[in-house]
Copies of this chain bind each other. A is one copy, B any other.
């Protein structure tokens, strides 16, 4: 079936067409761009929520629990799972992880996993693009589950309206070293597995970190959950709603979305430029030659880069 037919079916709410369009986006290239071009005008309605945290923190369980609650409230849900440890994305080889049990057989829930490279942090451009498709498909909420912390990538800010950083009492040591990153990124903190020792201490640390925000800025709430039993999920849902309300009242939601679009265009331009450079035989030959000279010690990497860059001025074609 060609892209135009799929797009027409997609517009009528055809789940299979949605799935195939996502596959086209995943394959990349010209088809991916035309799909995303065509769908862009329909995006912007969904509330995007990113769940990030280390493996084993319970992101999938939280995603499952939140999905249930959103469904009860009558909202449709899309899930993009980028965490390599997520059962959604074919992970969980060794452990017994929770399955997204409630999603099975509910047409109001659409789950899509991303084949993650397993070694990069943050939300990939692909995950954002799949979120676009789910948004255009009319999902009220799009959850993006992604591996994070160790390092929290500040780039994640551009992926969602609300960023939920999920930790467990075991994350205490890391929290200390991640203060700045967490502070920049989190809109909400969740201390999951809060029935374990150390939960209150971690929550207190996170509350202290949240309190370092500038006056007038959003103060990230800290919610304790035991996701496996559903404990704390109502509070989390309430906190997410409060964040959305605050953004709407302060006009911050639009500003963040504009920043995200800006960042996205910038990244796409750089990507296109990089490909063009890499695919130009003459430019590649010059680069290879220069690397030889660097390896031979006859020129430094810095001088080599200067000489190459001299021929690559950004606006030279005008």
Contacts and interface: CB of A to CB of B under 8 A. Distances in A.
Interface of A: 33, 36-37, 40-41, 44, 54-56, 83-85, 91-95, 117-122, 147-154, 170, 173-174, 176-181, 184-185, 205, 257-258, 261-262, 264-266, 268-274, 276-277, 280, 282-283, 287, 290-291, 294-295, 297, 300-306, 308-318
A54 to B, nearest CB: 6
A41 B297 contact: yes
Given A273-B309, A290-B265, A291-B262, A180 B117 contact: yes
A287 B311 contact: no
Given A121-B151, A265-B294, A272-B309, A283 B314 contact: yes
- Most chain-B CB neighbours within 10 Å: which of A33, A37, A121, A177? A177
- Most chain-B CB neighbours within 10 Å: which of A95, A148, A181, A280? A181
27 contacts: A36-B302, A40-B300, A54-B174, A55-B177, A56-B176, A85-B176, A85-B177, A95-B173, A119-B154, A119-B181, A170-B170, A261-B295, A262-B291, A268-B301, A269-B305, A270-B274, A272-B312, A273-B273, A273-B277, A273-B312, A273-B314, A276-B312, A277-B314, A311-B318, A312-B314, A313-B317, A316-B316
A213 to B, nearest CB: 15
Contacts of A262: 291
A313 to B, nearest CB: 5
A148 B154 CA distance: 15
A44 B297 contact: yes
Given A269-B312, A287-B266, A306-B272, A300 B54 contact: no
Contact of A265 (B117, B264, B308): B308
Contacts of A276: 309, 312-314
Contacts of A265: 287, 290-291, 294, 301, 304-305, 308
A94 B282 CA distance: 54
Given A309-B273, A315-B311, A317-B311, A151 B119 contact: yes
Contacts of A304: 265, 268
B40 A302 contact: yes
A187 to B, nearest CB: 15
Nearest to A151: B121
A145 to B, nearest CB: 12
A261 B303 CA distance: 13
A121 B153 contact: yes
Contacts of A36: 300-302
A45 to B, nearest CB: 12
Contacts of A291: 258, 261-262, 265
B150 A283 contact: no
